[in-house]
A = this chain, B = another copy of it.
Amino acid sequence: MMTAKATSLDVARLAGVSQSAVSRVFSGASASKSTALKVRKAADELGYRPNSLARAMITGKSRIIGLVVAYLDNQFYPVALERLSNALKEQGYHILVFMAENAQDSISNVVQELIDYQVDGIITASVAMSSDLTQRCAVAGIPVVMFNRGQDGSGHSSITSANVEGGRRVADFLARAGHKRIAHIAGWEGSSTGRDRRRGFIEGLMDHNFEPLDVLDGMFDRDVASQAARTLMARADAPDAIFVGNDHMAFAVMDTLRHELGCKIPQDVSVIGYDDVPLAQWAAYDLTTLRQPVRRMVEATVETLIGKIEDPERPAQKIEIDGPLIARGSARKPEGWTQ
């Protein structure tokens, strides 16, 4: 039983070779069969493993990706986190996770700390970057990819679903199902996803010569969304359909409608969400929603980020990935609708 962790020098001595030889064996550089064998044997004996930190120091690559995430209570993010983690692991990267409240200086601190740790890249999930931060990352040469949030003119790549198109599709679905008084509890106005879905939704209604009955900002928050639902249903011309800016809020809205206001879904009101988190298909909610294709979004995110790490010259890209509307039981379906 060893008492201290062995270094490459220890291995070198035991194997009767130089430290550089050991390094080369473990970093995959050229080495003869015979030395590789000796080194491996000695290493096993000592329980040696290269020190990732030291390696990072010298190569300038830590193989760590920083992940900044804000809303962990929204099931979409744990799922995305898991997928991102697995995808990056396959590429030999690891994830340093930072929680941030969605406030500028919190994010600023968090990103600065990531820079201090010399991460090779940063993924922000539903978090915006100030231009100052953008600048700092640029100086440090750290590429940033924004997941599920776009930001014009930031110079960062972003991966989102096709939110405008998605909103439009929801509108079309509801209009074709014969709804007349259609309201929207939108995602936070300060986010591109919230704005885009909203815009697409309104445009989509316009295509049917409709106007939304009302549009309220749900701030991606359960309580705010519930309150918005109460407000809507208190109207004399209460809506017969509500499009909610994401599933997380939609669940709160459904709970409020059913258990507090005594509405039947979808008989009295249709409810549609956005994301298609796993919860959406649980029988208790059975939520009709626009699916964000997490798997493909994650793939695109990882590929974009690693591409930029390996070739810093690669220009930023904005990728939008389309997703289908998943019709379930929370919303009346248009005549002749086939999934």
- A residues near B (Cβ < 8 Å) are 1-5, 47, 49-54, 56-57, 62, 64, 72-73, 75, 77-79, 81-82, 85-86, 89, 94-99, 112-113, 115-118, 135-136, 139-141, 251-252, 254-256, 258-260, 278, 282-285
Known A49-B116, A53-B117, A94-B98; 6 more pairs at CB < 8 Å: A1-B135, A52-B113, A64-B117, A89-B98, A255-B282, A258-B283
By the criterion CB–CB under 8 Å, are A2 and B52 in contact? Answer: no
By the criterion CB–CB under 8 Å, are A140 and B255 in contact? Answer: no
Q: How many Å lie between the Cα of A39 and that of B161 in the bound state? A: 47
By the criterion CB–CB under 8 Å, are B57 and A118 in contact? Answer: no
Q: How many Å lie between the Cα of A72 and that of B259 in the bound state? A: 29
Evaluate whether A136 and B47 lie within 8 angstroms (CB atoms) in the complex, with A53-B117, A99-B85, A118-B52 already known: yes
* B-side contacts of A54, CB under 8 Å: 57
Copy tally for this chain in the complex stands at 2
By the criterion CB–CB under 8 Å, are A251 and B96 in contact? Answer: no
Q: How many Å lie between the Cα of A53 and that of B62 in the bound state? A: 9
Chain B nearest Cβ from A189, distance in angstroms: 25
Chain B nearest Cβ from A157, distance in angstroms: 21
By the criterion CB–CB under 8 Å, are B49 and A112 in contact? Answer: yes
By the criterion CB–CB under 8 Å, are A78 and B85 in contact? Answer: no
By the criterion CB–CB under 8 Å, are A82 and B86 in contact? Answer: no
Chain B nearest Cβ from A304, distance in angstroms: 21
Chain B nearest Cβ from A249, distance in angstroms: 12
Evaluate whether A260 and B284 lie within 8 angstroms (CB atoms) in the complex, with A51-B118, A97-B95, A98-B85 already known: no
Chain B nearest Cβ from A295, distance in angstroms: 15
* B-side contacts of A258, CB under 8 Å: 283-284
5 shortest interchain CB distances as A-B pairs? A259-B283, A255-B283, A78-B78, A284-B284, A52-B116
Evaluate whether A284 and B251 lie within 8 angstroms (CB atoms) in the complex, with A47-B139, A73-B278, A97-B85 already known: yes
By the criterion CB–CB under 8 Å, are A116 and B81 in contact? Answer: no
Q: How many Å lie between the Cα of A52 and that of B116 in the bound state? A: 5
* B-side contacts of A49, CB under 8 Å: 112, 115-116
By the criterion CB–CB under 8 Å, are B72 and A81 in contact? Answer: yes
A139 nearest CB neighbor, chain B only: B2
A75 nearest CB neighbor, chain B only: B75
By the criterion CB–CB under 8 Å, are A94 and B113 in contact? Answer: yes
Most buried by B among A98, A116, A135, A254: A116
A92 nearest CB neighbor, chain B only: B113
Chain B nearest Cβ from A140, distance in angstroms: 6
By the criterion CB–CB under 8 Å, are A255 and B284 in contact? Answer: yes
